Chains A and B, each alone.
Chain A
């Protein structure tokens, strides 16, 4: 449920933890999740992300997941969670918060728009690899969607908003309708690796064909929604056609986990038609022909005067 969460931390404000007295200077709002707001903050010249929660139980539940994940991570991995505390908001009330690593990056859609669609296969692969690490540790991301994926330079991806992360076998803690396989009548809301792969498939479609996807959700009767229609969108789309077969399998739950999904995706990437050679636009061909004609004319005149 979108929390009507009114407290706001302003730029330049210094917040101090009630229990451990850590001080952070607020720079700006980074984003808003389902159960809190995320700010960019500074401490000792280092940048961090601060997640401010509206409800102590909700936020702690998310912190528990992050702590379990941190424990499972092998050594050599950067720590993810730096501090957990409460702060007094501008309204005088107490709010729980936690401090995590700040990920510099743009949203998935922005990244592909700025860097070009040829990065899509690699971004997809890196995202599947990220998911497979979670799956191996016994977790499901749950609320996988375009907004929850950040991309840094050279297609390095990072998942944000761990509010939906669920232990395998339990009910998905948080999801977004169009990415949910239950919404498409394609399975349960019990957490398994296939759940994330279904959402990943919808994410691909949302990236390339957002209008068609939106249209489909508006037109279909709830009982008629099915993954076949999603596959049809993919098949009709130039950008998605090469992965349409992969998507069909993901929607049907035919990959056991993201590891298997990533292996199949990797194979696709090395096929020639996935990276279609960019055709030369018509106007450029015209320009080239024009230049050639001009060159021929000047050469003709030049030769004529010289002789």
Chain B
């Protein structure tokens, strides 16, 4: 199962529409969740609408929260999306058997068995979550809370029975026009990771769409890299961001 979790506080303003990018992700089998972090005011009507639409296009969930709720929200969202992803797959199977895929269409006695399977798969299947962090200037004071949320998420994922990995990206990248930079490659633990975000140079733009495309590409290359590693006798894929 693959997820992208976007944490942002406003509107994208450069490049490809993030809604289009999220739809791309969805077609690659990656769910996109979006958390909008509020500080004192709000993200504005435009920001809220965009956050909602990105998640819808990406087959995920969206939430607007303040910093204190961030950890709990990120954790619950990831968990809910895992269940949703499996539910969709199970419903596809059910459709072949019953003609109607909705779990609600089953009588309550039969529902129990299906949900048991969903719960079991949700706990045991492999999970990858790529966190994509908006590091534009207005997000700077919120990055400590974001880092806490990432550590908290890792703690929750470690409790699962299936293999769980996270990777962390932030955008915009450097002054040289990179859309997105990887801070942390796939990992199953954060022990010994002192700071996830090194000294960031805050850029002026918010290229949310291009950054999502970048992470999709990372996912694809990751898959490719794994295959080629098997074929080429342990040679690393050599993917450098």
Contacts and interface: CB of A to CB of B under 8 A. Distances in A.
Interface stretch (B10-18, B22-30, B113-121): B113-121
Interface string B139-165: 000000000100110011011110000
Interface stretch (B68-76, B206-214, B230-238): B68-76
A177 B72 CA distance: 7
Interface residues of A, number: 27
B123 A60 contact: no
Contacts, number: 69
Interface in A162-187: 169-172, 177, 182-183
A188 interface: yes
Interface stretch (B100-108, B129-137, B179-187): B100-108
B221 interface: no
Nearest to B87: A57
Chain A interface helix/strand/loop/mixed? mixed
Contact of A172 (B73, B109, B159): B159
Contacts of A57: 83, 87, 103, 115, 118
A61 interface: yes
B158 A60 contact: no
Contact of B151 (A56, A94, A177, A222): A222
A61 B123 CA distance: 13
Contacts of B95: none
A64 B116 contact: yes
B94 interface: no
B87 A1 contact: no
A86 B104 contact: yes
In the complex, which of the residues B77, B87, B104, B116 has the most CB atoms of chain A within 10 Å of its own CB atom?
A: B104
Contacts of B161: 169-171
B226 interface: no
B108 A85 contact: yes
A188 B160 CA distance: 10
B111 interface: yes
Nearest to B90: A57
A63 interface: yes
Given A1-B63, A57-B115, A60-B103, 13 more contacts: A1-B72, A61-B119, A64-B112, A64-B116, A64-B119, A86-B104, A169-B161, A170-B161, A183-B152, A188-B159, A190-B159, A222-B151, A222-B152
B80 interface: yes
A182 B72 CA distance: 12
A182 B155 contact: yes
